[in-house]
Amino acid sequence: MDRFRMMFQYFQSNSESVMNGICGLLALASVKMYTSFDFSCPCLPQYNVVYGLGTMFIPPVILFLCGLILNRQSLVMLEEWRRPAGHRKKDLAVIRHMCSSIMQRAMVAPVVWIVVTLLDGKCLICAFSGSVDPEKFVGFANVSTVQVQQLLAKVPCKDDELMRNNTSHKAVSRYLRCWSQALGWSILLILIIAAFLARWLRPCFNQATLLQARHWSNYIDIEQKIFEETCCEHSRLFAHKCILHFFESMQQEIKRHSFSLPKEGEEAEGEEDLLRGITNQDQVNKVLKTWYYEKPPLDVS
């Protein structure tokens, strides 16, 4: 009883913090992935855009899906959504609440990736170096149209032999990085203001409904965990009973076949109970062989 109470308290207090912890870990993993990823722009006209934008947008999708997979509550929500109504009717507000909290947590890591990418600037420089206006930059102004695309595509590769002698590539890089960082900071600012407003203004709308939805989504989560734990406990007891029945039936069979005299007196009854009448090598081997070849039926009535 005490054990169950401790578990209740643990589940209630820690289900949300476990999920927040996973969300934080994914965000850190996202930053670590970015720093360990060796970004190398191909510096070829069409490939640059694909590579740059691909590196900016595909990993966030992966991180979002990971966020959904690793969150236990998403399974609980899906099961609640798909279950037949039966004796308990479904409350769509609860499902919506669970869905929105799952989505919010899953969006953190992708946003972190996009913001870090923009603040670093390499992706945007790679993707859009071919789209700048060459007239603005001295080194590219007097080059023919065909060649200018090739040259601009090579701007992200500082060590390329064509770029080493061209001083305007730094100007283009700086220009694009400035745009990239401005975009990054703006997105960060907008998101933080939106999060701040959402949290502050939420109590002004439908607070009672929100409290109910949160309570019942928590309830569904805990109920699921306790059901699994009860099933584990039940299967343990079931297994214990099954094995006891098995040993008793083996004991009876051995008694029938061995014609041994019944033991005298009550000595060593504790040990005899544990030995369950199996007292020599052949009997032990028979028990083990029967356990493998003829497991008892799943019926402890």
Instruction: Enumerate residues 6+ apart whose C-beta is below 8 A from 111.
Output: 60, 187, 191
Site string for other proteins, 164-203 (x = CB under 8 A): ----------------------------------------
For CA atoms 41, 47, 50, 53, the dihedral sign is positive
* Nearest in space to 94 (alpha carbons), one of 181, 209, 188: 209
Q: Is 47 or 185 the residue whose CB approaches other proteins more closely?
A: 47
Distance of alpha carbon 110 from alpha carbon 198, whole angstroms = 20
Q: How far is the CB of 156 from other proteins (least distance, A)?
A: 10
User: Nearest distance from residue 134's CB to other proteins, in Å?
Assistant: 22
> Binders of other proteins among 208-247, rule CB under 8 A?
225, 229, 231-233, 235-236, 238-240, 242-243, 247
| Contact present, 111 and 191 (Cβ < 8 Å) | yes
| CA angle, residues 231, 234, 235, in degrees to nearest 5 | 85
Cβ–Cβ under 8 Å, residues 216 and 94: yes
Give the position of tokens 């479904």.
90
Q: Give the nearer residue to other proteins in terms of CB position, either 189 or 243.
A: 243
Q: Does 68 bind other proteins (CB under 8 A)?
A: yes
Extract the tokens encoding 28: 């850190």
Q: Tokens 């070849």 label which residue? A: 293
8 A C-beta contact, residue 67 and residue 24: no
Contact with other proteins (CB under 8 A) among 54, 104, 178, 189? 54
Residues 6+ apart with CB under 8 A from 10: none
Smaller CB separation from other proteins, 107 or 188: 107
Q: Kindly identify the residues of this chain, within the stretch 24-53, that bind other proteins according to CB under 8 A.
A: 37-38, 40-44, 47, 50-51
Distance (Å, whole) CA 216 – CA 14: 16
Contact pick of 143, 278, 286, 300 for other proteins (by CB under 8 A): 278
Kindly state the smallest distance separating residue 133's Cβ from other proteins, in Å.
25
Note whether 249 binds other proteins by CB under 8 A: no
- Beta carbon of residue 27, minimum distance to other proteins (angstroms, whole number): 15
Give the dihedral sign, CA 281/283/286/288.
negative
Q: Among the candidate windows 64-72, 115-123, 173-181, 185-193, which touches other proteins by CB under 8 A?
A: 64-72
Among 11, 99, 107, 214, binds other proteins (CB under 8 A): 11
Is there binding between residue 146 and other proteins (CB under 8 A)?
A: no
Nearest to 3 by CA among 218, 223, 226, 217: 226
C-beta separation of 102 from 73 below 8 A: yes
Of 159 and 201, nearer to other proteins (C-beta) is 159
To the nearest whole angstrom, how small is the minimum distance from the Cβ of residue 82 to other proteins?
5
Query: Residue 151, exposed/middle/buried by CB under 10 A (0-12, 13-18, 19+)?
Result: buried
Each residue 75-114 as x (binds other proteins by CB under 8 A) or -, in order, gives x--xx-xxx-------------------------------
Q: How far is the CB of 43 from other proteins (least distance, A)?
A: 6
Size of the site for other proteins (CB under 8 A): 81
Shortest approach of other proteins to residue 294 CB, angstroms?
4
